[in-house]
Amino acid sequence: MGFVKASPEAQLRLLELADLDTELARLDHRRRTLPEHAELEQLNARAARARDALVAAETELSDLSREQERAERDVEQVRTRIDKDQARLDGGAVSSARELESLQSEVVSLKRRQGDLEEVVLELMERLEGATARRDATAAEQGSVSAEASAVTARRDAALAEITEAAAKASDARAGVIAGVPADLLALYDKVRAAAGGVGAAMLRRGRCEGCRESLSMAELSEIRAAAPDEVIRHEECRRILVRTSESGL
Ligand SMILES: [Zn+2]
């Protein structure tokens, strides 16, 4: 590609363009790194954990309820048998001493069994209480996660809308600036910008490149001093287009 020439005015427009591109890059970076993105990710993870915990707590609750019903039924059966045996004992229909003795010992062992089963029922009630508390705590956690997520989402959306508006403004301004830049100069700027990581042109200010912050050597400065105003100069060091202004210190 041949050497690009452009009027000093057109070259100055590159500085406006570079400012706008910097602003657009900043906005893009901000859009991608909003703290709300990370917050929402954490909230989603918390919501997933709460969902799992809720399923576990509800499963435990229904298992325990079933166990409790079974234990209560067992208690009831034992009680019925005790009542029946007792009625036979009290009714006086059993006259054989051996039969009486065996009935009495059955009642004793049934009562022991009843006591054991009632203890099981009590223990199950306690476990049910614990599981209910865990289920309620998990449901409350789900509610608070969902409320927090709504608030963070609203904050993120407001920030994104603000960024989008600022980016649209900068893009409009960029289109206006580009209209005043010759095509070959713009092509050079874009090529440099792609290679130099975002900023394609920089001001030469007091002998220093504002793009890479390096000071130019005396030899480089005298070469630039000797160049015609419409010659487009590049900084050897960072390859950016160096734009001369009254502040260049030439
Ligand atoms: Zn430079």
Residues with CB under 5 A from ligand 1 (ion): 209, 211-212, 235, 237-238
Can you give the pLDDT at residue 1?
39
- What is the Å distance from ligand 1's center to 234 Cα? 8
3 state DSSP class of 15: helix
- What is the Å distance from ligand 1's center to 239 Cα? 6
Of 17, 37, 19, whose CA–CA distance to 178 is shortest?
Answer: 17
Q: How far is it, in rounded angstroms, from Cα 176 to Cα 198?
A: 19
- What is the Å distance from ligand 1's center to 210 Cα? 7
What radius of gyration, in Å, describes the C-alpha atoms of the chain? 43
- What is the Å distance from ligand 1's center to 94 Cα? 115
- What is the Å distance from ligand 1's center to 82 Cα? 100
Can you give the pLDDT at residue 250?
85
Of 6, 4, 12, whose CA–CA distance to 244 is shortest?
Answer: 12
- What is the Å distance from ligand 1's center to 123 Cα? 78
Can you give the pLDDT at residue 92?
83
- Residues in a beta bridge with 241: 201, 234
Query: Which stretches in the chain have pLDDT values below 70?
Result: 1-2
Entry field: residues in the chain: 250
Structure tokens at 82: 């005790």
- What is the Å distance from ligand 1's center to 1 Cα? 21
